[in-house]
Amino acid sequence: MSSGAGVKLRIDGIAKRYGPVVALEPLSLEVRSGELLTILGPSGSGKTTLLQVICGLVEPDAGRLFIDGHDRTVMPVHQREIGLVFQNYALFPHLTVAENVGFPLKMRGRPAGEIRDRVATALTMVQLGHLGGRFPRELSGGQQQRVALARCFVYQPAIILMDEPLGALDRQLREHMQIEIKRLHRETGATIIYVTHDQEEALALSDRICLMNHARIEQVGTPQEIYEHPRTAFTAGFIGTSTLLRGQVEGDALATPHGRFALPPGSTATGAAALVIRPEHLRLGPGPNAIRGVVAETVYAGAETRLLFDLADGTGAALRLPTGTTPPEIGTEVEAHWTTETAVLVPL
């Protein structure tokens, strides 16, 4: 992997084992300067180990790690100039908001006047300029997380690592804080590595997503690329909702238990493969590529209603009903179709 201009962090063949347990398969990754890259994956996928290697809490068994082109593989944590934002805020309860935010600058021996000015700027940036004299216990959860963000941004680290920072917040506040993080990222141009298991959060926040599974990288790409062009069945199943029709490639079609279906244009998979059809691309009624199943559930979500139905072999399928459509009753047999070019073929 090249280390071209604009690369803030380069991971080259990093691997980690704990006895017989493989925590990280050898992997390589580049994080561009000024981007927000999300490391996404289920529990046990390796994302936390990768985060610990990046910030220096864990030393890899193999590979090298470069920040701004300099080898930092064995550099101690406190020398890496990496900011950390955690789920539990990690604020000092005996210090005021302003003292918490200024703590990193104080530890670096910055002059009192500079600390005062930069703290004021950071608190204004997170819209807490009026709360500098309060203590953490006097703040809401969302306000405490903003203080943690300000404390990280205030000393302008080379890289900011965020480890599931919104996991303790309720849904409405979490969505609000996602917007705040996007705003802060845009205004500061900081390089942020964001770790989460929440796919919706990853899609909403990221410039790019690094999806991990079984201690290795499954796919890296923009949210649109990951969603619309998954390269594996795992990606298709983990990011968003999909109908996966498994079968064997035979000529220009995929032979499945549900019928033979034309391959999408540009398909390259051979042998065992699966068609991936997103809910927005399935339509009720007969068509050139059609499947039949029995309605299992309908889910009303305000802006949309999702229809879930089961095929004969138990394969689950999902489609979005147009606004104002009355969903068929549970237990009803339905037929749904898609156009060939809206599906994606992935190898199995």
The string of DSSP codes covering 153-200 is HTT--SEEEEESTTTTS-HHHHHHHHHHHHHHHHHH---EEEEES-HH
Reply yes or no on whether the pLDDT at 5 is more than 80: no
Would you place residue 2 in the very low, low, confident or very high pLDDT band (cuts 50, 70, 90)? Answer: very low
Non-local CB neighbours of 255 within 8 Å, separated by 6+ positions: 247, 248, 249
Residue 282 has pLDDT above 60, yes or no: yes
pLDDT at 263: 96
Averaged over 305-325, what is the pLDDT? 91
Write down the pTM of the prediction.
0.88
Q: How confident is the model at residue 331 (pLDDT cuts 50, 70, 90)?
A: very high
| Each residue's pLDDT tens digit, 177-228 | 899 889 889 988 999 999 999 999 999 999 999 999 999 999 999 999 999 9
Residue 132 pLDDT class (50, 70, 90 cuts): very high
Q: Provide mean pLDDT across the span 107-126.
A: 92
Residue 116 has pLDDT above 90, yes or no: yes
Q: What is the mean pLDDT of residues 98-126?
A: 93
pLDDT band at 323; cut points 50, 70, 90: confident
pLDDT at 246: 96
What is the predicted pLDDT for the residue at 257?
A: 94
Give residues with Cβ within 8 angstroms of 101, minimum separation 6.
Answer: 119, 122, 123, 132, 147, 150, 151, 154
pLDDT at residue 27 in the model? 97
Query: Of the candidates 17, 6, 42, 14, which has an alpha carbon nearest to the alpha carbon of residue 196?
Result: 42
- Residues with Cβ < 8 Å from 328, sequence gap 6 or more? 284, 295, 307, 334
Instruction: Kindly report which listed range (3-12, 43-52, 175-184, 298-307) carries the lowest average pLDDT score.
Output: 3-12
Q: How confident is the model at residue 169 (pLDDT cuts 50, 70, 90)?
A: confident
The overall average pLDDT reported for the chain is: 92
Task: Say what the pLDDT of residue 338 is.
Answer: 96
* Mean pLDDT, range 251-276, rounded to an integer: 94
pLDDT band at 335 (very low <50, low <70, confident <90, very high): very high
Residues ≥6 apart with Cβ < 8 Å to 142:
169, 173, 176, 177
Distances (CA, A) of 191 to 83, 132, 207, 239, 344: 10, 26, 11, 24, 32
Give 46-67 pLDDT, tens digit per residue: 998 999 999 999 999 999 999 9
Which domains, ranges and CATH numbers included, belong to the chain?
A: 7-227 (3.40.50.300), 251-347 (2.40.50.140)
Share of the chain above pLDDT 70, in %: 99
pLDDT at 165: 85
